[in-house]
Amino acid sequence: MIIPCIDLMGDKVVQLVQGREKALEGGTPLEMLQRFAAFPQIQLIDLDAAMGQGSNDDLVELITSRAAARVGGGVRSAERARRLIEQGAYRVIVGTAAFDKPRLTEIADAVGPERLIIALDSKGGKVVVKGWQESTKFTAEEMIPQLEPYCSGFLGTYVDKEGMLQGTDLDWFRRLRSVTKHELTAAGGITTMEEILELQRLDIHAALGMAIYTGRLDLAELASLTKRPCR
């Protein structure tokens, strides 16, 4: 499955390079939803909430009321996760809180593991948290088996190439696929149809941002791929 991304910062739809430098702004959230109407799901990230710099709650609620959205960014409490589900989020993405077992347990209990996706974002080979601003000592491959009971899927972002249109690391995603049978979504640097087709062969979803906002990948062609079977 192809999953277009909508990232929010300062009430705008944006794309960042490696989570730091704003590279471009998209249309309004409603304009982007119209562009992505052919896709069964979108991925919605509140970057301000992820970085602890406020939130875009009104836009999150607007988008989740109109599309099947997996929503992340600053989901660090059971209350926040439950509120997103109540607002209409299809599933909730948790990153930083996954490394605090009591909090993760509370979140999973609040919304159910079937509604939870755990983000394992990798930079320099290690998982990064708090809006990619802090590095942990763990690799994603090490963490996945420990986290499987709390979720129904994982989102792996290859931060080293995020937003750079230089391709992603398919070998890393192959390693992630080898350690879990959970749903797996790839993000970060995905630039070509060849990469997407290889991810589909591996039974891995592709979350796309910069490549579709810049027109590097064609939305109509991508939409046709969503009809191919993938868990």
C-alpha to C-alpha distance for 217 and 231, rounded to whole angstroms: 23
Half-sphere exposure of 219 (CA within 13 A, CB side): 16
DSSP SS3 for 159: helix
Contact 138, 174 (CB under 8 A): no
Strands 42-46 and 69-72: parallel
C-alpha to C-alpha distance for 3 and 25, rounded to whole angstroms: 19
Total number of residues shown for the chain: 231
Catalytic residue at 121?
A: yes
C-alpha to C-alpha distance for 113 and 105, rounded to whole angstroms: 9
Contact 64, 16 (CB under 8 A): no
In our burial notation (b when 16+ CB lie closer than 10 A, e otherwise), range 133-144 reads eeeeeebbbebb
Task: Give the amino acid at 65.
Answer: S
Q: Catalytic residue among 7, 58, 109, 169, which?
A: 7
- Could you tell me the CA-to-CA distances from 110 to 51, 126, 208 in Å, in that order? 23, 28, 29
Q: Catalytic residue among 46, 48, 121, 169, which?
A: 121
- Angle at which helices 170-178 and 193-201 pack, to 10 degrees? 10
Name the residues annotated as catalytic.
Answer: 7, 121
